[in-house]
Amino acid sequence: MHRSLLVNLAFTRSIHSTISRQVPSNVIPISKIRNIGIIAHIDAGKTTTTERMLYYSGVTSRIGNVDQGDTVTDYLPQERERGITIQSAAITIPWNKHRINLIDTPGHADFTFEVIRSLKVLDGAVTILDSVAGVEAQTEKVWKQSANIPKIIFVNKMDREGARFGKTCKEIISKLGTRILLINVPYFKEIEGSRERQFEGVLDVIDQKLLKWGPNDSIAVEELNDDQYEIVSKCRESLIETLGEIDETVIDSFFESEDYMKVPSDILKKSIKKSTLEQFATPVLCGASFKNIGVQPLLDAVTSYLPSPLESQPDIANTELKLTSEGHIIANNDKLTAALAFKVITDPIRGLMVFVRVYSGKLVSNSNIYVNGQQIKIGKLLIMNADKPQEVSELKAGNIGVIVNDNLKTGDTVLAHIQKKKLKREEVNIVVNPIGIPPPVFSISIEPKTTGDRRGVEEGLSLMLKEDPSLKYVNDEETGQLILSGMGELHLEIAVDRLKTLKAKFEVGRVMVSYKETIVDKQLVEKSLEDDGISIKLSMEPIPESKKDLPRNKQYFDLGDNNMMNINHEPHWWEEKKLMTYTSLINGIISGLIGSIQRGPVIQLPLNSTLISIETISIPDDFNNVSKLIQLIRIALIDLLKNEQSFNVMEPMMKVIIDVPPEDIGSVIQDLTAQRNGIISSIDDDSGELGVEMVKFREISESQYLPSEPNVESGISINKNGSEFKGNQTINAIVPLKEMIGYLPSLRKITKGRGNFNMEFKGMEAVTRDRLDDIVKELQVF
Ligand SMILES: Nc1nc2c(ncn2[C@@H]2O[C@H](COP(=O)(O)OP(=O)(O)OP(=O)(O)O)[C@@H](O)[C@H]2O)c(=O)[nH]1
């Protein structure tokens, strides 16, 4: 007999949201805040899941749809047109008396920087997988990047043909290298007269119930039948055995009855949280967001198993902040408010909206803050509900919110005194979680239509750089061109669209790979200005592959593009001369050098991966003309750059991962090797078998119970018509970036729309003579 309890979710939704709205946002205790991200491969269903979360929490009154372009989180017009996420939206979801600050991050590799930036401020994450594709390349990458934060996994799209929960779980263990904790497992309804079974709900392993989703937001909570009891019992056995490895409470509780089904849910929940926070194992849930199945248990899992800011250990290396034994983040100096600006977006009405994570103290509206050593006054503070802001008077430690101010940019550390006093000189220089920016590898020329348009274009570009520091632009004085560089074709395409919306009028050149020049062997030059009695000795050499191999006892200054500078003189040598501070001297030299390394001797491209050393500076005792000295350094460098034979051209190489149906694998490889100068590193069969490198997890996977899969016979997925459903195979290759321009349409053509690829920057590589000739020809047309 089934006891069926119909719960109307519209009702549940309104309870959750009423509770949360009655509590003013800043009154929600920090223990009930969850700063989490959603990360996954492109198209796994992040935006679709987020939309359901917003709906079920009562934030929205209807469900937005990616395919119809009316979602809340993808609110840029470009996102809605393309059905993809570009900017990480920060939204606040009330759930179960908690506040979930959620960052929806883009899955496309061109926007990796957005992901890295968001990860810095998160305490936990939900990883969404497509149950047909399993663990995809971008997920593996982001999983590694987010190694320091606890995560839960949602196996989405369980309604699709070829969905494989068990196989996906195996891949979680083998590819992501984690133990799994099954929180719920899929339930399939039989269809009369068909071998196929339809996904309808989940078996709740913790509370031992069957949850079935029906029409009109209804959910039926049923008791388990004998078969389901058997499945849940096995899942509990595996869960309790895994948890028992690090938690004796669970084992003790089991021995009281020696029955896996009798271990109380609250003991299990506590233990799952402990295991998750220690990253000993990862809770796994399943559902089909598009069909509105499984999202509420996911929200419950976020509040139950992911950490509050008090329980998290965010990446605070290289900062003046520290963790207390209870896990609180505080400034070494307890009077300090410290926050990180992790994202800047432009709002047509409010101006620049700067998203910050507050680490210690609190930010107060209409008060003074310090940014890059400067004191600035801020106005309003906001928290976000998708693109709808709510004004608050203060933002306490642990929170994510918005400062409305034009003077901040992404990556800035925001500091203040808790009692609004002035900060001391040494406190002003504290830096929180600096974000490393990867090198942009694609460029386009931007040509303003008239001289009058140039200013508008330049202003637009500067604004965009504040929002997105992974874009870069160079003003080429000789050609008068503005060169905009970014992480990929899509990144630049979106940037150009954005520039157009800023009312700038311009023409765009075609997409170009960012080639660079570098020095091959060390060169030395000596120069002097006899009338002034000053002389200098300067050298340039290739930078070691790892910056860790640079001689230790020197101080290095960054010139951008993997170029560095050092000066052999100690600060006190200069300070004694009392002409200007050592920092100003260094800044003067750096800006002179940066200007001079934008054109190499081979084909006038910017230099990359060089180390410039100012070996000696000799000046008379009565010397007082610092600008002459900086000018001399520049002259010396320009002289050194005349030596063309010592330089070569470099091109960006990419690690490419391509998912293709097995029948197209030959043609894709042929195209990569014969047409695109690619080198194949490996071909992985996507069968879900464990990889050799993951042997250490084999034991875990074998003891892990995985429910049997419907629509699968003898380990093979079966289509509706009973024939074999074949998954994709993965090709790993190294390919010059140039050959990857416009690759997607070509891949889609070869694979009849079923192939997909992902690539990431591997490094710059020196080119051969033949390749150099091609590049020269290519640049002539540009
Ligand atoms: N069948 C099925 N389709 C789904 C499900 N969830 C999402 N989709 C579809 O999958 C496609 C991608 O969904 P999105 O939510 O845009 O995926 P995303 O991960 O946000 O993608 P990016 O923003 O581009 O990274 C859309 O066509 C969705 O309708 C699901 O549970 N079942």
For ligand 1, pick from 42, 52, 55, 66 the residue to mutate: most ligand atoms within 8 Å of CB: 66
CB contact at 8 A, 751 and 684: no
Q: Find the 67 Cα to ligand 1 centroid distance in Å.
A: 8
SS3 annotation, 73-91: CCCCHHHHHHCCCCCCEEE
Rg (CA), the chain: 29
Q: What is the Cα–Cα distance from 710 to 562, expressed in whole angstroms? A: 53
Mean pLDDT of the chain: 80
Report the C-alpha gap between 471 and 484 in whole angstroms: 7
Q: For residues 778 and 770, give the distance between their C-alpha atoms in angstroms, rounded to a whole number.
A: 13
Of 317 and 3, the structure prediction assigns the larger pLDDT to 317
Helix, strand, or coil (residue 752)? coil
Q: Which ranges in the chain are annotated with CATH 3.30.70.870?
A: 442-513
Q: Which residues neighbour 272 within 8 Å (Cβ) at sequence distance 6 or greater?
A: 181, 183, 206, 239, 243, 283, 304, 305
Q: Is 109 in the pocket of ligand 1 (CB under 6 A)?
A: no
> Looking at 2-11, 133-142, 333-342, 548-557, which range is the least confident one?
2-11
45 annotated as ligand-binding: yes
In the prediction, which pLDDT does 49 show?
A: 92
pLDDT of residue 10: 37
Per-position b or e across 54-68, b if 16+ CB within 10 A of its CB = bbbbbbbeebbebee
Give residues with Cβ within 8 angstroms of 530, minimum separation 6.
Answer: none
Q: Where in the chain is the domain with CATH 3.30.230.10?
A: 517-642
pLDDT at 319 exceeding the cut of 90? no
Question: Considering only CA atoms, which of 436, 431, 391, 399 is closest in space to residue 415?
Answer: 431
Known binder of ligand: residue 47? yes
Average pLDDT of the segment spanning 512-520: 88
- The answer to the question of whether 301 is labelled as a binding residue is no
* CATH 3.30.70.240, the chain: domain bounds: 651-781
46 lines ligand 1 (CB under 6 A): yes
Lowest mean pLDDT among 64-73, 583-592, 768-777: 64-73
Average pLDDT over residues 162-173: 90
The finding on whether 288 has its CB within 6 A of some atom of ligand 1 is yes
Please determine, for residue 613, whether its predicted confidence score (pLDDT) is greater than 90: yes
> Is a pLDDT exceeding 50 seen at residue 579?
yes
> 249 by DSSP, 3-state: which?
helix
Regarding the beta carbon of 516 and ligand 1, being less than 6 Å apart is answered: no
Per-residue pLDDT, 252: 94
Residue predicted with more confidence, 145 or 385? 145
Q: Is the CB of 405 under 6 A from ligand 1?
A: no
* Residue whose structure tokens are 């009338």: 531
pLDDT of residue 58: 79
Go through 687-697 and write b for each residue having 16 or more CB atoms within 10 A of its CB, e for each that does not: ebebeeebeeb
Q: Is 135 in the pocket of ligand 1 (CB under 6 A)?
A: no
Tell me: the pLDDT tens digits for 67-125?
A: 555 565 555 555 445 544 445 457 788 899 998 988 766 656 667 677 777 777 888 99
96: which 2 tokens? 């179960």
Most confident of 131-145, 259-273, 708-722: 259-273
Does the domain at 4-22+30-311 match CATH 3.40.50.300? Answer given as yes
Q: What atom of ligand 1 comes closest to residue 40's alpha carbon?
A: 19
Instruction: Go through 320-353 and write b for each residue having 16 or more CB atoms within 10 A of its CB, e for each that does not.
Output: bbeeeeeeebbbebeebbbbbbbbbbbeeeeebb
The beta strands (E) that lie in 264-335 are given as 281-286, 321-323, 329-331
* Cα(729)–Cα(686) distance, integer angstroms: 5
Which segment, 170-174, 175-179, 535-539, 723-727, is predicted with the most confidence on average? 535-539
Rounded to an integer, what distance in angstroms lies between the CA atom of residue 65 and that of residue 652?
A: 37
Instruction: Report whether pLDDT(36) > 70.
Output: yes
pLDDT bracket for residue 1 (50, 70, 90): very low
Helices (H), 23-58: 46-56
pLDDT band at 181 (very low <50, low <70, confident <90, very high): very high
Q: Looking at domain 442-513, which CATH architecture does it have?
A: 2-Layer Sandwich (3.30)
Cβ(440) – ligand 1 distance below 6 Å: no
Residue 542, pLDDT score: 93
Residues contacting residue 100 through CB under 8 Å, at least 6 positions apart: 34, 36, 53, 57, 92, 93, 94, 299, 302, 303
Query: For residue 623, with 0-12 CB atoms within 10 Å meaning exposed, 13-18 middle and 19 or more buried, which class applies?
Result: middle
User: Does ligand 1 lie within 6 Å of residue 131's CB atom?
Assistant: no
Both structure tokens of 238 = 């595996």
- Measure Cα distances from 387 to 59, 111, 343 in Å: 11, 20, 14
Is 40's C-beta closer than 6 angstroms to any atom of ligand 1? yes
Q: What residue ranges of the chain are covered by domains with CATH 2.40.30.10? A: 316-432
Task: Specify the higher pLDDT residue, 163 or 145.
Answer: 163
Q: Is 168 annotated as a binding residue?
A: no
Atom of ligand 1 nearest to the CA of 50: 15
Q: In the predicted model, is pLDDT for residue 34 greater than 80?
A: yes
Q: How far is the CA of 654 from the centre of ligand 1 (A)?
A: 27
Burial of 458 (0-12, 13-18, 19+ CB in 10 A): middle
Is 517-642 a CATH 3.30.230.10 domain?
yes
What is the average per-residue pLDDT within 508-532?
A: 88
Does residue 214 sit in helix, strand or coil? coil
Q: How wide is the angle at C-alpha 676 spanned by C-alphas 544 and 440, nearest 5°?
A: 45
Gap between the Cα atoms of 339 and 357, Å rounded: 5
Q: What is the pLDDT of residue 9?
A: 41
- Structure confidence at residue 158 (pLDDT): 96
The arithmetic mean of pLDDT across residues 239-261, rounded, is 93
Distance 45 CA to ligand 1 centre (A): 3
* Averaged pLDDT for residues 396-425: 81
3-class DSSP assignment, residue 289? helix
CATH number given to 316-432: 2.40.30.10
Query: Of all protein residues, whose CA lies closest to atom 24 belonging to ligand 1?
Result: 84
Name residue, tokens 């990047």: 145
Residue 62 has pLDDT above 50, yes or no: yes
- How far apart CA 293 and CA 123 sit, in angstroms, is 26
Query: Comparing 362 with 108, which gets the higher pLDDT?
Result: 362
Q: Give the residue, by CA position, lying nearest to ligand 1 atom 11.
A: 43
What CATH class is the domain 651-781? alpha beta
Ligand 1 centre to CA of 65 (Å) is 9
Does residue 319 have a known ligand-binding role? Answer: no
Mean pLDDT of 144-162: 91
Contact 536, 636 (CB under 8 A): yes
Which runs of E-coded beta strand occur in 487-588?
Answer: 506-508, 512-513, 516-519, 523-529, 534-542, 556-560, 563-567
The string of pLDDT tens digits covering residues 722-763 is: 666 666 788 999 999 888 888 988 998 998 888 888 787 888
The DSSP bridge partners found for residue 484 are 444, 473
Q: Which two tokens stand for residue 61?
A: 């009154």
Q: What burial class does residue 258 get, using C-beta atoms within 10 Å of its C-beta: 0-12 exposed, 13-18 middle, 19+ buried?
A: exposed
Work out the pLDDT band at 353, boundaries 50, 70, 90.
Answer: confident
Q: What is the mean pLDDT of residues 179-191?
A: 92
**Rounded to 10 degrees, what is the CA torsion of 20, 25, 28, 33?**
90
pLDDT > 50? residue 693: no
* Secondary structure (3-state) at 125: strand
